[in-house]
Chains A and B, each alone.
Chain A
């Protein structure tokens, strides 16, 4: 009896320690990206048996199994975009190799993968924000002009040039990491972050007026009425771009 109690106590302590440690490993470091087909870290850690078959079948040797020094759940596959990004193979061999479904077999088009999301983390160093035509992240993007577009802005500094601001679109970005790898800076100004860190989420009760109007085909509030101005005599306001007018006597 005493023996059982002692054993149970010891085993529980071991379990407690291991439990706390395992909770910590749920918080994946932001720089560690999972292979394609991982929906979220929680589901992944219940499914991945750490066999490394995805690592073996990756034709570009991008995936690594984590070791103790990595701060990632031990033995699980990951890649680091700045070192070596995902090549987005069309046949997705890593997902095919996974025996447990930790990498979801429903992912059949690599463009649907969401390994993370590219974020321009630093506007102060990004060369395009300085008015230079670096454009490297845009040009290496496998989904160029979809996942990353260049948006023209007025260059206030020179007063006469245009800034071409790289903008990432989350509906197309797969998080492959090519942009982060290619960024010419010492420390990349564009980085891939896990979606939960990179993406905002609108309040679920939010409705954007113009979208609702388009959906309904008409304005859902009282239609715009002509504005009444209380102007001094002899002045009138015209809407069609003309503004304040002197109402000249005829």
Chain B
């Protein structure tokens, strides 16, 4: 089979598995993202305080503190001692992402993900090609820069322009400026740089990539020998470079589990693959030998 057109990515899977099956993880992800927004919003809108605060730090049902470890790290570098409730919250969050994969924040929680996914979807439909290219390492340099800047300015400087928290805070606390940030990021990803923000620049994502370096939950190309090279997974993947070693590395003795830190565990590849190559797995299920044994067990 030859590669399908960008806008046709996933059509084969729909024909093969049906629309719902071919969108199950995408729908579950959107449901999760919206649910998180909703639990934050029922407090300010209806007065039922399930969760107070926002993504940088929150308190759930008056007992569970959750804090973004990245912002607390910046605070620490800026000179603030972090022995506080926020520290406990950051540990809880860190342990969670150590298990499920750091970038799960990006694809399952972050409100910007919906924006950049929409931009990428439209980009494929409108056949927009080219644009500015950033080195794959840019986000890590920006991450380093934000930490240096925190130390030099003794303030959490990145928060002045961080679109992730600006948008989330804007939605929860009501600030019209969030709309402008959303539009800017959308247009940037649509017209200026393909997968530019989440895939190349965002230091929050870079931080969570590093956090998830040794995470347990992974996507695996467990039935990679069934791959018919349709390229649909590459088309929809927000970090397409992560797929190739796992999918095509059998000859080189590379296991089928996607071990790249930048994989967001979004599961879109599982959705769009008509041949059911991909599935959620764990990092230890990565032997090239095990692969043969697993073939029978994996759900259709």
Residues of A at the B interface (CB closer than 8 Å) are 3-4, 6-8, 10-12, 14-15, 18-19, 21-23, 25-26, 42-43, 45-53, 55-57, 65, 67-69, 73-75, 97, 99-102
Contacts and interface: CB of A to CB of B under 8 A. Distances in A.
A121 B58 CA distance: 40
B292 interface: no
B191 interface: no
Q: What are the 3 tightest A-B residue pairs by CB atom distance, in nearest-first order? A: A51-B57, A45-B155, A46-B78
B173 interface: yes
B86 interface: yes
Nearest to B52: A56
Contact of B161 (A3, A18, A49, A56): A18
Contacts of B157: 18-19, 21-22
User: What band does the interface of chain B fall in when counting residues whose beta carbon is under 8 Å from A?
Assistant: 35 or more
A100 B80 contact: yes
B160 A101 contact: no
A53 B160 contact: no
Interface of B: 43, 49, 52-54, 56-59, 65, 67-68, 71-72, 75, 78-86, 89, 134-135, 137-138, 141-142, 145-146, 148-150, 152-161, 165-166, 169, 172-173, 175-177
A74 B138 contact: no
22 contacts: A19-B149, A21-B161, A22-B153, A25-B155, A43-B80, A45-B156, A46-B79, A46-B154, A49-B68, A49-B156, A50-B54, A53-B52, A53-B59, A55-B173, A56-B43, A56-B52, A57-B52, A69-B177, A99-B65, A100-B67, A100-B72, A100-B86
B69 to A, nearest CB: 11
A49 B158 CA distance: 11
Contacts of A12: 145
Contacts of B54: 50-52
B169 A65 contact: yes
B53 A42 contact: no
Given A47-B75, A50-B169, A52-B173, A21 B80 contact: no
Given A49-B72, A53-B58, 15 more contacts: A6-B135, A7-B137, A12-B145, A14-B145, A15-B149, A22-B153, A25-B155, A25-B160, A42-B155, A45-B78, A47-B78, A49-B56, A52-B53, A101-B80, A101-B84
B63 to A, nearest CB: 13
A23 B152 CA distance: 10
A167 B82 CA distance: 40
Contacts of B158: 18
Given A19-B149, A53-B52, A75-B166, A100 B82 contact: yes
B142 to A, nearest CB: 5
B171 to A, nearest CB: 12
A53 B159 contact: no
A4 B84 contact: no
B74 to A, nearest CB: 9
B165 A75 contact: yes
Contact of B149 (A22, A47, A100): A22
Contacts of A22: 149, 153, 155, 157, 160
Contacts of B172: 52
A68 B159 CA distance: 12
Given A74-B160, A100-B86, A23 B153 contact: yes
B138 A11 contact: yes
A43 B79 CA distance: 8
A4 B135 contact: yes
Contacts of A97: 52, 59
Contact of A7 (B141, B165, B175): B141
A3 B89 contact: no
A236 to B, nearest CB: 69
B154 A99 contact: no
B43 A7 contact: no
Given A18-B157, A75-B166, A99-B89, A8 B80 contact: no
Most buried by A among B80, B85, B142: B80
